[in-house]
Amino acid sequence: MRKILIAGAGQSGLQLALGLQAQGYEVTLMSHRTADEIRAGRVTSTQVLFPTALQHERDLRLNFWESQAPDIEALGVTVAAPDSHDPGPAHRAVDWLGPLDGAAQSVDHRVKLAGWLDTFAQRGGRLVIHGAAVSDLDHLSRLYDLVLVASGKGELVDLFDRDPAHSPYTRPQRSLAVSYVHGLAPRPDGPGTGQLRLTMVPGVGELIVMPTLTTSGPADILFWEGVPGGPVDAFRGVAGPAEHLALTLSLMERHTPWEYARAVKAELTDGGSTLAGRYPPVVRNPVAVLPSGGLVLGVGDAVVTNDPLTGQGANAAAKCAAAYLAAILEHGDRPFDEAWMRTAFDRYWGPVGRPTTRWTNAMLAPLPAHAVGLLAAASDHPEVARRFANGFDDPSDFEHYFYDPARTESYLATLT
């Protein structure tokens, strides 16, 4: 029986651990928190999974909350005009809703990761509650056939060298502020809990609103992404959750009044339902060498960390775990050498990591005129809205019509 060590118990680490466990591998999982500590802790993300990632969970029979989580059946994009503080609808320069070909869902990681962690232990997996350090892996690597790092934070990340060719940013591109709330009213112009809304406020940032399942049941996420130094980059030093929500709502009233109108009765779901922070997007070398010479392979956020603007974090993690699981199973009893590790990463990077990173980095920058024109065209052409919305499930499709002005022009010319 092959022995595998996974350090990190997020979406990618747990999904991979449970997948390997189901195939008879002897898996040791290192987590810095217990399941109970995760459940009782603060929110850690704004995860939303689109159909491909959800199917990976179904394939492993890990979709425990699918019947409880609200379905997200459409994705809307709004581009605010410069004077968007005026509540009149004319000050939404672009506003459309694109149907998703398959429903998306969001499950608070306090619910999902805690549940998966319990499942791993109940199924006989070896769970070590310990924040892994490099010295730990250096010692333990001799005892395992393969060591994987699935933690996007802490000293283990520093094992993996930054890849400057795919990491154009060295500083955070957005200030992030999250609130999980009850009491959000449905939009008057379409389905309520069934849609994810992305509002882009040029020069200010973005507001993302979407339904989720949290520890207290169905809820909604209010998520500001503020341009550094701008008016939404205002959450440093906020005293506590109540002040965090008050600031969130105040910024909504000023910059997205049509969304604020839905949120006037919003209340935090619990005392740990807010989060603020920032980090630079980065791609790292997937293979690292331990002090003793042993090799480790990075998984998910450990090697590809994108800004959450495009909602790709948990999706990319799920797809990375699925790619690695297939690569491990196909490899059989052969050694997990460096060549195999790089091939396993390429299996993820080519179809998923590269297009996801390119699209997210492009969305962080001011959109060029042809891209703004494309978003505007979606207001009049439902097929454009549908295609853009479903790009959140498959970002590789943007290669065909989003980045290059000539390709955008050619695509729009085909519309009737």
Q: What is the DSSP string of 392-403?
A: TT-GGGGGGTTS
Percent of the chain clearing pLDDT 70 (strictly above): 97
Q: Are residues 54 and 129 in the same domain?
A: yes
- Average pLDDT, integer, range 143-148: 97
Q: Are residues 95 and 130 in the same domain?
A: no
Tokens of 311: 């909602």
Give 226-285 pLDDT, tens digit per residue.
Answer: 999 999 999 999 999 999 999 999 999 999 999 999 999 999 999 999 999 999 999 999
3 state SS for 281-345:
CEEECCEEECCCCCEEEECHHHCEECCHHHCCHHHHHHHHHHHHHHHHHHHCCCCCCHHHHHHHH
CB 123 within 8 A of CB 294: no
Instruction: Write the CB contacts of 243 (distance below 8 Å, at least 6 apart in sequence).
Output: none
Residue 344 has pLDDT above 70, yes or no: yes
Q: Are residues 199 and 340 in the same domain?
A: no
Q: Are residues 150 and 220 in the same domain?
A: no
The residue among 259, 277, 295 that closes a domain is 277
Amino acid code (one letter) for 329: L
**360/379 Cα distance (integer angstroms):** 22
Domain containing 388 equals: 368-413
DSSP state of 154: S
Q: SS3 for 46?
A: coil
Q: Are residues 261 and 337 in the same domain?
A: no
Q: Are residues 56 and 153 in the same domain?
A: yes
Give 272-312 pLDDT, tens digit per residue.
Answer: 999 999 999 999 999 999 999 999 999 999 999 999 999 99
Q: Are residues 134 and 187 in the same domain?
A: no
Q: What are phi and psi of 63, to 5 degrees?
A: -85, 55
**78/197 Cα distance (integer angstroms):** 8
Give 11-28 pLDDT, tens digit per residue.
Answer: 999 999 999 999 999 999
Strands 126-129 and 26-31: parallel
Q: Are residues 31 and 78 in the same domain?
A: no
Q: What's the CATH number where 258 sits?
A: 3.30.9.40
Compute CA distances 112 → 33, 51, 109, 218, whole Å. 14, 17, 5, 14
The residue among 243, 277, 311 that closes a domain is 277
Instruction: State residue 83's pLDDT score.
Output: 61
Compute CA distances 177 → 50, 84, 106, 208, 351, whole Å. 22, 20, 17, 10, 30
DSSP state of 366: P
Instruction: State residue 188's pLDDT score.
Output: 79
For residue 5, give the H/E element and its range: strand 3-7
C-alpha torsion angle, residues 358, 362, 363, 365 (rounded to 10): 150
CB 199 within 8 A of CB 80: yes
**250/238 Cα distance (integer angstroms):** 14
Q: Are residues 133 and 59 in the same domain?
A: yes
DSSP state of 358: H
**216/244 Cα distance (integer angstroms):** 20
CB 323 within 8 A of CB 300: no
**377/366 Cα distance (integer angstroms):** 18
Strands (DSSP E) found in 170-294: 175-182, 195-201, 205-214, 217-226, 267-268, 274-277, 282-283, 287-289
**179/168 Cα distance (integer angstroms):** 29
Q: Are residues 17 and 158 in the same domain?
A: yes
Give 45-97 pLDDT, tens digit per residue.
Answer: 999 999 999 999 999 999 999 999 999 999 999 999 876 455 444 488 999 99
Q: At what angle do helices 338-348 and 313-331 cross, to 10 degrees?
A: 140
Give me the number of domains the chain comprises: 3
Instruction: State residue 50's pLDDT score.
Output: 98
Q: Are residues 319 and 382 in the same domain?
A: no
CB 104 within 8 A of CB 54: yes
For residue 102, give the H/E element and its range: strand 92-104
User: Is pTM, for the whole model, over 0.85?
Assistant: yes
Q: Are residues 199 and 100 in the same domain?
A: yes
The residue among 258, 277, 296 that closes a domain is 277
Q: Minimal CA–CA distance to 307: which of 170, 177, 176?
A: 176
Q: What's the CATH number where 59 sits?
A: 3.50.50.60
Instruction: Write the CB contacts of 78 (distance below 8 Å, at least 6 apart in sequence).
Output: 92, 94, 95, 197, 198, 199, 200, 256, 258
Give 167-197 pLDDT, tens digit per residue.
Answer: 999 999 999 999 999 999 988 776 555 999 9
